[in-house]
Structure 1
Amino acid sequence: MRQTAFLLRAATLAAALFGAVLAPAPATAAEPLAKTLFGAQKLPAATAPESFGFYSKGCFAGGMAIAVDGPNWQAMRLSRNRRWGHPAMITLLERFSRDAAKDGWNGLLVGDISQPRGGPMLSGHASHQIGLDADIWFTPMPDRRLTAQERETIGSRSMIKDGGLLVDDKVWTRSHEAVLRRAASYGEVERILVHPGIKKKLCDTVKGDRTWLRKVRPFWGHDSHFHIRIGCQPGSAGCKGQEPAPASEGCDKSLAWWFTEEPWRPNKNPDAPKARDIMTMAALPAACRAVLNAPAPPSEASVTLSGPGRPTVAAVSVTVTASADEPVRAGAIPVPTPRPQR
């Protein structure tokens, strides 16, 4: 009897141990989404300017915010906190705003650039993650300063006919062509994304020098704004650029494809999650963890390009121009202890 009881207890213990080995480990908490982590950042990483990864999968440090108001620009959708970019991008936008005024453009309405530390956004864009993309509205700046409420609610008018793919000649002007030509004139600008109908309009109407058309690329959306992309900047060894735009004008069969049925067919799986909605930190460059953990500057004012006559502070000895005739030597944000194709 004792032997039988012993064997039963031994069998029970063995079964318990064996079951413990086979039982699945307790589920760990799901890793937070990268868009949640980056979307929560209110200020940039106070380190040297540097972009990590690709335009649609990365982050950046040492960001600067374009001022809410400038002599030739106004920032829009302020509540999104997406007016941050690599200092080279912010400097370019200020220069662009001055030059466009010479072309008869009343001033830029600046849309999204990037979040303070880049990364995937809570909504909207797939790109704009490394501080080197910016959206400019096709509606020029009005002759007055917009209120905070207006900046949240008014929109930019589409350049495309309702229900069609071609430009609406009632709203398109030579000034629209001029502002795109000006944007393409800068060496650091690698691509300008516009609606295919706008690209076709340029192909059909641009006279004289047409070499700049190679930078203007057709893409979905972009009917009420255009997207400027600059290349990876010096000091950003971890930045991944894209292939140069084709050398041709792009007014060929590659454009004709956009006017076939194929690019506009309904999405067969509209409920499929977008990349930003499933992307975790594991999908981003390892350096992006350090960007998230880096200290912030003391205030937004220390990293804002503020227009002529006002102090300008850029990250680590970046030289910018605050007005057409007033070069400014930028101060340095205190550097913290180092932490780890279209």
Structure 2
Amino acid sequence: MTRTAAGALLAAALLACTVAAAEPTAKEIFGSQRAAAAMPSASFGFYSKGCLAGAAQLPADGPTWQAMRMSRDRRYGHPNTVAFLERLSREAAARGVWPGLLVGDISQARGGPMPSGHASHQIGLDADIWLRPMPAGRLTPAEREDYPFRSVLKPGTFEVDDRIWSSNYRDLIRMAAEDPKVQRIFVHPGIKKKLCETTGRERAWLNKVRPFYGHHEHFHVRLFCQPGSPGCTEQRSTGSGDGCGELDWWFDVALQPPKPGGKPPKPKPPMMLADMPDACRQVAGAPAIFDGGGVIAAGVSAPPPAALSYAPQVRVPIPTNRPSR
């Protein structure tokens, strides 16, 4: 290879690195959106790699729910997700199971990866429900930023604290699991163990309740891909059985501290728009729609309510597809 050719290759490589460094990440693109895409409601991709068009926003307040941590601006979801949360809150209150839901993260205005926190919650079909009943008094926006999480585990253990836990916790999770739209529910392994120990003969709903890291201050509801979303990627089936015989690995292996001297996992490179379903490029650049029904041009974000302290708006350019190499 001649020096000229080698120099040209080196220059091309450096240019590619420079372009890659300048290109915004997917979490920057979707994290900057403050309004839903004016498109038919649909989920694209998988729960941990996708986006959401035509999102609905859970109202901050309802008779039987309150949205929490509103400065995160993550109370958008597929319309069926929002309807599910409202319905669950009403039915749980009507049955005397739960006075009202404290709802945490659902999704961003157009889904996609978040600047911090969840790897999932990207297609509007995931929602976090706090394991703490709604207080009698209505919380102010400022109070919702600081209202403390509460674990249902005994401090320093993987066991449920019976001073907090009651059958109402089990019944609320059961109500959610028995909804036909729900695909699975994530809880801490200690909570799954408690549910296995305190559930009678009608145990089919336990199949949907899956143990996972964390999830001792809230439980995570995940809906099936909804009608009208052919681009949504279904998660594998939970199979059959109640899953209660599969908990030993969690307590004996997964929840144990790492071995001394072990190498930490290598961080994954940030997700780029090119890594996501093709439809997400259209979702990211679509005109915005607001609660009042108005539509504004693509690339313009809605100003956040003055009462809340959102992170500063960022105008992020949408990169074009790169040519194949």
Name the TM-score, length of structure 2 as normaliser. Answer: 0.83
For the residue of structure 2 that corresponds to 1:264, the secondary structure is coil
Q: Aligned residue for 1:226?
A: 219
Q: For 1:259-298, list aligned pairs within 5 A.
A: 259-266=251-258, 268-270=262-264, 272-273=266-267, 275=268, 278-297=270-289
CA distance in structure 2 between the partners assigned to 1:91 and 1:55 by the alignment: 19
Q: Aligned residue for 1:85?
A: 77
Q: Are residue 66 (structure 1) and residue 58 (structure 2) matched?
A: yes
Q: Which of 201, 205, 212 is the aligned partner of 2:198?
A: 205
- Moved >6 Å (runs of 4+): none
- C-alpha displacement at 1:257, in angstroms? 1.2
CA distance in structure 1 between the partners assigned to 2:192 and 2:10 by the alignment: 60
Amino acid at match of 2:235: Q
- C-alpha displacement at 1:185, in angstroms? 1.4
CA distance in structure 1 between the partners assigned to 2:263 and 2:93 by the alignment: 44
CA distance in structure 1 between the partners assigned to 2:198 and 2:5 by the alignment: 78
- C-alpha displacement at 1:149, in angstroms? 1.2
- C-alpha displacement at 1:17, in angstroms? 5.0
Q: Aligned residue for 1:250?
A: 243
For the residue of structure 2 that corresponds to 1:51, the secondary structure is strand
- C-alpha displacement at 1:20, in angstroms? 4.8
Name the TM-score, length of structure 1 as normaliser. Answer: 0.79
User: Taking structure 1 as reference, are residues 72 and 262 closer, same or farther at Cα in structure 2, changes over 3 Å only?
Assistant: closer
Q: For 1:1-342, list aligned pairs within 5 A.
A: 20-25=7-12, 26-27=14-15, 28-29=18-19, 30=21, 31-104=23-96, 105-252=98-245, 254-266=246-258, 268-270=262-264, 272-273=266-267, 275=268, 278-297=270-289, 299-302=290-293
CA distance in structure 1 between the partners assigned to 2:86 and 2:263 by the alignment: 41
Moved more, 255-264 or 47-56: 255-264
RMSD (CA atoms): 1.8
Q: CA-to-partner distance for each residue in 1:117-149, whole Å, 9 max, x for gaps?
A: 000000000100000000000101111110111
CA distance in structure 2 between the partners assigned to 1:38 and 1:159 by the alignment: 33
- C-alpha displacement at 1:261, in angstroms? 3.1
Structure 1 unaligned runs (5+)? 1-14, 304-342
CA distance in structure 2 between the partners assigned to 1:19 and 1:125 by the alignment: 44
Q: CA-to-partner distance for each residue in 1:202-226, whole Å, 9 max, x for gaps?
A: 1011124111111111000000100
For the residue of structure 2 that corresponds to 1:142, the secondary structure is coil
- C-alpha displacement at 1:22, in angstroms? 5.0
Q: Contact 1:191/1:229 (CA < 8 Å) preserved in 2? A: yes
Amino acid at match of 2:46: F
User: Taking structure 1 as reference, are residues 96 and 24 closer, same or farther at Cα in structure 2, changes over 3 Å only?
Assistant: same
- C-alpha displacement at 1:35, in angstroms? 0.3
Q: Contact 1:103/1:179 (CA < 8 Å) preserved in 2? A: no
CA distance in structure 2 between the partners assigned to 1:126 and 1:22 by the alignment: 37
- C-alpha displacement at 1:156, in angstroms? 2.4
Structure 2 unaligned runs (5+)? 295-325
CA distance in structure 2 between the partners assigned to 1:18 and 1:197 by the alignment: 62
Q: Percent identity?
A: 53
User: Taking structure 1 as reference, are residues 301 and 165 closer, same or farther at Cα in structure 2, changes over 3 Å only?
Assistant: farther
CA distance in structure 1 between the partners assigned to 2:141 and 2:217 by the alignment: 20
CA distance in structure 1 between the partners assigned to 2:200 and 2:231 by the alignment: 40
For the residue of structure 1 that corresponds to 2:111, the secondary structure is coil
Q: CA-to-partner distance for each residue in 1:282-309, whole Å, 9 max, x for gaps?
A: 1110110000010001x34449xxxxxx
Amino acid at match of 2:87: R
CA distance in structure 2 between the partners assigned to 1:103 and 1:295 by the alignment: 42
CA distance in structure 1 between the partners assigned to 2:41 and 2:264 by the alignment: 38
For the residue of structure 2 that corresponds to 1:141, the secondary structure is coil
- C-alpha displacement at 1:91, in angstroms? 0.6
CA distance in structure 2 between the partners assigned to 1:160 and 1:180 by the alignment: 16
Amino acid at match of 1:264: Q
For the residue of structure 1 that corresponds to 2:28, the secondary structure is helix
- C-alpha displacement at 1:172, in angstroms? 0.4
Larger Rg, first or second structure (1 or 2) = 1
- C-alpha displacement at 1:266, in angstroms? 2.6
